[in-house]
Structures are given as C-alpha cells and as structure tokens.
Amino acid sequence: MKDESFFPIQQIVNGEGKLVEKSFEGSLTDELVKVMYEKMLRARLFDRKGVNLQRQGRIGTYVPFEGQEAAQIGSASALEEGDWMFPTYRDHGATMTYGQSLSRIFLYWKGRYEGGVPPEGKHIFPPAVPIASQLLHATGAAWAEKKKGSDRAAIVYFGDGATSEGDFHEGMNFASVFDVPVVFFNQNNGFAISVPMSRQMKSKTIAQKALAYDMESVRVDGNDVFAVYFETKKALERARQGNGPTLIEAVTWRYGAHTTSDDPSKYRDNDKENEVRREKADPLLRVERYMKANGIADDGWFNNLEKALAEEIEKAVSDMESYPNVDVNDLFDHVFEHPTWTIEQQKQTYLAAKGGKDE
Amino acid sequence: MTTTVKTKKLSLVQAVTDGLRTMLAEHEDVVLLGQDIGKNGGVFRATEGLFEQFGEDRVIDTPLAESGMIGTSIGLAMNGFRPVVEMQFFGFIYPGFNQLVTHATRIRARTLGRYHVPMVIRAPYGAGVRAPEIHSDSMEALFTHVPGLKVVVPSNPYDAKGLLIAAIEDPDPVLFLEPMKVYRAGRAEVPETKYTVEIGKAEKLSEGEDVTVLAWGAMVPTMKKAAKNAEKALGISCDVIDVRTLYPLDKETISESVQKTGRVVIVHEAHETGGVSGEIASLINDTSFLYLRSPIARVTGFDTPVPVFSLENDYLPNEQKIERAIEKVVRF
C-alpha cells in the first residue's frame, strides 16, 4: 500500500503566502507573480458572473470552478503556441488563459454551438461532457504531433472521478506504450458530485496510478499557482523532448457545487468549516499575501485591476447577449461535410413549415 | 480510344488489403490501427504484408482496447491523419461505442466544422462461419441510428476495394462492415489501380418485373440464389438490389424499383425489430406507397442473440425462407 508520503505534495508558496521552496526565489519575478494573480482574478470574477447570470436566467446551467483557479491558470500558463488543450466542461479558467474569448465561454452555457469554437489558430478543444473520454483524444492529437515530428504537446484536464473510467486507463496506457507527448492534468477536488474520493478509489493518491503505466507522475498543491505552473512546464518540456507523458495530480478544493443545479449541502461540510478552510486554501489570497509581504503591489494596484477586469467581463456579457440570433442552418449543416439527403430533406421541410424564415 | 484497365483476381478480403495498400501508398496521412494487424497481418489476414511494406508507424499494433483505438484515432484524425481502425470482430465494438457516438460523430457539429474526424472503422461481421458467441453479431442498425456516421457494407471484391477507398477519402467517419461469410467465397476481377465506388449508392444486380428483393453483405449471394430459384420454379422475375450503403440509403434506386414492381422483400441477417429493413420500408412508404400491391415482407434473423453455431443455420435467413417470402408477396 502506498500512502501520501510516497508522492509528497509539491509546494512553492504556502497558505500564508510564504515562499517554502527557496530554490524558486529567483523564478518568481514580480511580473510572473502579477500576471498569475491577474489571470486568477479574471477567472474568479468571470466564474462569479457565470453563477449570477444563471441565477438571473440569462444563461442555462453553469458549471462553477471557484477555488480551482491556481490549478487551471497555473497549468494553462505553461502551454506554448501550437500546443493542444483538451478541457472538461469546468475548465473555463484554463481555456480563457490559453486564449478562448470570455464571451464564447458564456455562449457555450447559453446553449450555443459557437461556444465550442476556438479562436483561429488556437488548438482548444470544445468541452466534453462524457467523463474521461477526452484523454484518448489528447493522446491521439499528441501522437499526431509526434508523427509529424513537431515539438508540440497536448494537455488534458479531468477530475478525480474520471480516474475510475476505463478511458482514463486506456488513455494512460496508449500514451505510455507509444511514448506520446501528452500531460494528463488531474484536478483532484475530493468529490465526484457527491461521491468522496474515499468511495471513488482505495488508492491514497491519484499520482500513484501512473506507476502501473511506468509513467512519470507528480502530486502538486493545486491551490499554489506557482507549483502548478512550474510542474506543468517541466512535464510539457519532458513531453517535447520525447521523454513521454506525465500524470499531474493537482490537489485542490472547489468551494461551490458541481453545477448550478446541484445542492452540495447534502454531502459536504457546512459553510462555517468552509470559511475557516478557505482562509488557508484560497489560491488568490495566498498570492495576495505574498505580494503584499514582498512589496510587489499595493492596495491601489489590486483595486485598479479588479475594476479593469470587471469591465472586461461586463463587455463579454454584453457581447454574449448581443450576439446574432442563432442560425437554424447550424442545426443541419455541420453533421457531415455535405448533408446527406435525409438531413437536407428534413431541413427543407422544416424551413418550409417555418415559412422559410429564421425566428 | 480504349484504355485497358489492368485487373487481378481477388477475394473480398484480398480486395480490402489491396484497398488499404493503395491508400497507404498514396497518402502519407493514412495509418492503420488495430489489434494483431501488424506482424500477424490481422486474424483474417486483411492487413497481411502491409506491416512489412509500410512499417510499424503506419500499420500499428495497438493494445487490446477498442475505446482506446477509436478514441486515439479521433485525436489523430482531427490532427491531420486518416486512421483506419480494425475491430477484430464487429461484436467487439461495444466497448468503443461511447467514443463513436459521443465524439467521432459529433465533433464537427460541436465545433461548427472547425474540427472533423475523417476516420474509418473496419469490422468483420455476420454469422455463418461457426464462430463463438459475439463474433457473429450484425448490429448495423445500432449505427445507422447515430447521426454523423455513414454505414457501408460491401458484398463482393470489386465493391470492397472501391467503397473502402471512398470511405478513407470521406471527410467524415465511416463504419465499414465486412461480411466474414463471403471474405473468401470467391474471387473477382478487381482493378489494380485506385478507383472508388460511391457511398450512398445501391447496385441493381438483375432486372425483373414482379418483385424487388433487397439485401446487403453476406445475404446478397443468398438473395441472388433465391431470386433465381423463384424465377425457375415459380416464374417470378425479381429486381435484385444490393443496398451497399445503409446510411444514407439510396432513395432513388430503391423507389424506382419498387414503383416498377409494386412488391418488396427485404432480407437481412440482423434481428428483425429495429432492423434497417424497417427504415427501408419507411422510405418506400414515403416515396412509393400508392405503387404497392402487397405488404412489404422481411426475411431476417430473430429477436434473439445471434446464437452459438449449433443453432446459426436456424437463425439465419436462407434461400427457402427468402423464396417463400417472394412467393407470398407476389401471390398476395
């Protein structure tokens, strides 16, 4: 049996905002620290807006991630131009960090296909709702890069529950057998909706699951954006150099529900305990403390940043809400490159009944 | 000026190999994936010699994992390759069903065409070869119901090569079902060079006046014999059609024939309820209802699992069952 000490949690800045891994002192430049904080705050404000929009009925079900900013932003920041990202439906922090526009993420939750389309030239895959199946797509896409002889890599996101799925194991196995440049990035939140990790697996860590595939793996404090960033960078570098895949377990903690339709009070700690825990765990608070203690930024900087980000998010909301009406052709025209006669016939019949107009 | 097309005599499975070889040679981005397809050349020898000719990076022995093969092929396909995946037997596709239904066939729609998945899944299928359970399944109807997937079934060597090449060139996922029973049933002249048979087109095998008989895969030779018997013994002349593509069906060829004969017998070895025959009957209802002179008959397998081989002759449609159906619809 392996216990947690077999895969110690890598940490650079702790909950109090103190640098605990001195060797990184020179790597934490003021610019890096500020950029990471900025990206995390952007994601957090976006996320809160997403929940509000759902409550107001302006978008459909929303999937929040508050508390997971360090895991998502740290990992996504490690990617380079041309790499591939395969997110889950929860990884808006990661996708926006890698270039997805905020209004498109809102459009996804407004039930628009446009929300699955990445910006031109960006390899961001649309969120996948089936659990763990995207690990194989990432493996295949990364395998293709290897076959082309490029030094591009892929990163794929998944939660703790996903590691119970067959596709997790098939993805790890294929990547390992064919030495594919892919990074498996797990956000271990401790819960798959209501089922706690202890019920999901007997393994004490997710990182140890890589042992079966003779794959590199690491367990990282998923609330420490710097630890996540540097470990992911290392894993991507290993992939680029042809040294195979890595499994990263980012141990994190999401404050909110699985989705806006879920009621976590039935299976999770009460609010008071959450508040106490949050003081220590919060990924933004610790960077804020670090920045203030080291004189990197003052209150004015934080206030200005929050104001600018709030404006950016409001703009994204208005872009989403003023987006052109949904085009009924999108229902029919992208099933095949050329619609089959059945689809074409169904389309014409429907449009004729509608009076040939989109409403 | 006439040009002579060089041909060679090939069995259906050899024509598949020839189609794969043609495409591997022509397109750098074609890769084959599957279990035992490399050194071993596949359990049916469909990839025989290709590993030696094109190497392990093009003809790839994968771990034993159908979801893994289909899932990684999706990634390869949307990143510039044209994977052709071999299911060792069609009945083994069930663990890969999720990848096919939730991803391969949806990625184009999900991204409004930004990504697409040009992949082919090849699968030997059908009963009559005395195989163990599951190996003989013919679950094609499960797949014709999946939006975004084309389903193709050749019944002879010429079509096998031409349809396979068309499937590999298709920008969308294609399920390519190879009838095991006729893999080596006979040889036919197959052009040595590249050619395609259009997906979505049925083939009229013989002209008749009294009844339209339709089938695909290994049922085609059985249907042909039954139609000949009906002609000889009962004086009934049959329009005989090899359906060849199950999605999308060939509306024109089927309706034109039914409007001429007014009677229909549909033959398939898959289970009756929910079978593709129901879809063909519905198509006929839409296009040719007023031409019908008797109810459409189907000759199919039963709503039972495809049995172990001591019972498969009872399960399968045969010449007698088809002939009786032909007589019934004509004498209605």
Span A230-286, pLDDT tens digits = 999 999 999 999 999 999 999 999 988 899 998 888 888 777 777 888 888 999 999
Query: Does A2 score more than 70 pLDDT?
Result: no
Contact A358, A327 (CB under 8 A): yes
- When pLDDT is cut at 50, 70 and 90, the band that residue A293 belongs to is very high
Query: Does A216 score more than 70 pLDDT?
Result: yes
In the prediction, which pLDDT does A211 show? Answer: 96
In the prediction, which pLDDT does A1 show? Answer: 57
> Considering only residues 139 to 168 of chain B, which have any Cβ-Cβ distance to chain A shorter than 8 Å?
147-148, 150
**Which DSSP helix (H) or strand (E) runs through A116?**
none
- β-pair partners for B301: B271
Q: Which amino acid is at A99?
A: G
In the prediction, which pLDDT does B9 show? Answer: 97
For strands B82-86 and B30-34, give the pairing.
parallel
Contact A12, A24 (CB under 8 A): yes
Q: What is the DSSP letter of A89?
A: T
Q: Which residues of A touch B (CB under 8 A)?
A: 84, 113-114, 116-118, 125-126, 128-130, 133, 135-145, 147-148, 166-167, 170-171, 173-174, 177, 330, 333-337, 340-342
Q: Give all strands (DSSP E) within chain B, no chain letters.
A: 7-10, 30-34, 59-61, 82-86, 120-125, 150-152, 174-179, 188-191, 203-206, 211-215, 238-242, 245-247, 264-271, 297-301
Q: ∠A107-A316-A88 over CA atoms, to 5°?
A: 45
Select from B71, B81, B112 the Cβ nearest to the Cβ of A144.
Answer: B81
How far is the C-alpha of A97 from the C-alpha of B292, rounded, in Å? 63
Round the average pLDDT of chain A to a whole number and report it. Answer: 95
In the prediction, which pLDDT does A303 show? Answer: 97
- The ipTM, to two decimals, is 0.94
What is the per-residue pLDDT across A123-147, written as a single tens digit (0 to 9) for each? Answer: 999 998 999 999 999 999 999 999 9
CB contact under 8 A, B112 and A342: no
Select from A116, A138, A140 the Cβ nearest to the Cβ of B111.
Answer: A116
Kindly list the distances between the CA atom of residue B21 and the CA atoms of A274, B164, B248, B300, in Å, as whole numbers in the listed order: 62, 11, 27, 35
Contact B73, B83 (CB under 8 A): yes
For strands B203-206 and B238-242, give the pairing.
antiparallel
Select from A117, A140, A340 the Cβ nearest to the Cβ of B75.
Answer: A140
In the prediction, which pLDDT does A263 show? Answer: 86
How far is the C-alpha of A59 from the C-alpha of A261, rounded, in Å? 13
How far is the C-alpha of A277 from the C-alpha of A286, rounded, in Å? 13
Q: Any CB–CB contact under 8 A between B98 and chain A? A: yes
DSSP code per residue over B37-88: -STT--TTSTTTTHHHHH-TTTEEEPPS-HHHHHHHHHHHHHTT-EEEEEPS
The percent of residues above 90 in pLDDT, for chain A, comes to: 88
The residue whose two tokens read 């049916």 is: B44
The pair of structure tokens assigned to B61 is 């022995």
In the prediction, which pLDDT does B263 show? Answer: 98
* Residues of chain B with confidence (pLDDT) below 70: 1-2
Whole-model pTM over 0.80: yes
- When pLDDT is cut at 50, 70 and 90, the band that residue A68 belongs to is very high
Q: Under 8 Å CB-to-CB from B33, ≥6 apart: which residues?
A: B60, B62, B69, B72, B73, B83, B84, B85, B86
In the prediction, which pLDDT does A358 show? Answer: 52
In the prediction, which pLDDT does B2 show? Answer: 63
**A69: helix, coil or strand?**
helix
What would you measure as the largest C-alpha separation in chain B, in angstroms?
59
SS (H, E, C) A216-269: EEEEEECCCHHHHHHHHHHHHHHHHCCCCCEEEEEECCCCCCCCCCCCHHHCCC
CA-only gyration radius of chain A, Å: 21
Query: Does A93 score more than 60 pLDDT?
Result: yes
Q: Under 8 Å CB-to-CB from A346, ≥6 apart: which residues?
A: A332
The percent of residues above 70 in pLDDT, for chain B, comes to: 99
In the prediction, which pLDDT does A274 show? Answer: 79
Q: Does A112 qualify as catalytic in the annotation?
A: no
How far is the C-alpha of A47 from the C-alpha of A64, rounded, in Å? 6
Q: Any CB–CB contact under 8 A between B99 and chain A? A: yes
In the prediction, which pLDDT does A272 show? Answer: 78
In the prediction, which pLDDT does A356 show? Answer: 54
The residue whose two tokens read 């790890």 is: A172
In the prediction, which pLDDT does A158 show? Answer: 98
How far is the C-alpha of B246 from the C-alpha of B91, rounded, in Å? 18
In the prediction, which pLDDT does A271 show? Answer: 74
In the prediction, which pLDDT does A275 show? Answer: 82
- β-pair partners for A195: A192
What is the per-residue pLDDT across B202-246, written as a single tens digit (0 to 9) for each? Answer: 999 999 999 999 999 999 999 999 999 999 999 999 999 999 999
In the prediction, which pLDDT does B240 show? Answer: 98
> Considering only residues 311 to 330 of chain B, which have any Cβ-Cβ distance to chain A shorter than 8 Å?
none
CA-only gyration radius of chain B, Å: 20
Q: What is the mean pLDDT of residues A4-26?
A: 94
Q: Which amino acid is at B8?
A: K
- When pLDDT is cut at 50, 70 and 90, the band that residue A180 belongs to is very high
- When pLDDT is cut at 50, 70 and 90, the band that residue A27 belongs to is very high
In the prediction, which pLDDT does B223 show? Answer: 98
- The percent helix, strand, coil of chain A (3-state, each to 5) is 50, 10, 40
**In chain A, what residues touch B78 (CB-CB under 8 Å)?**
137, 140-141
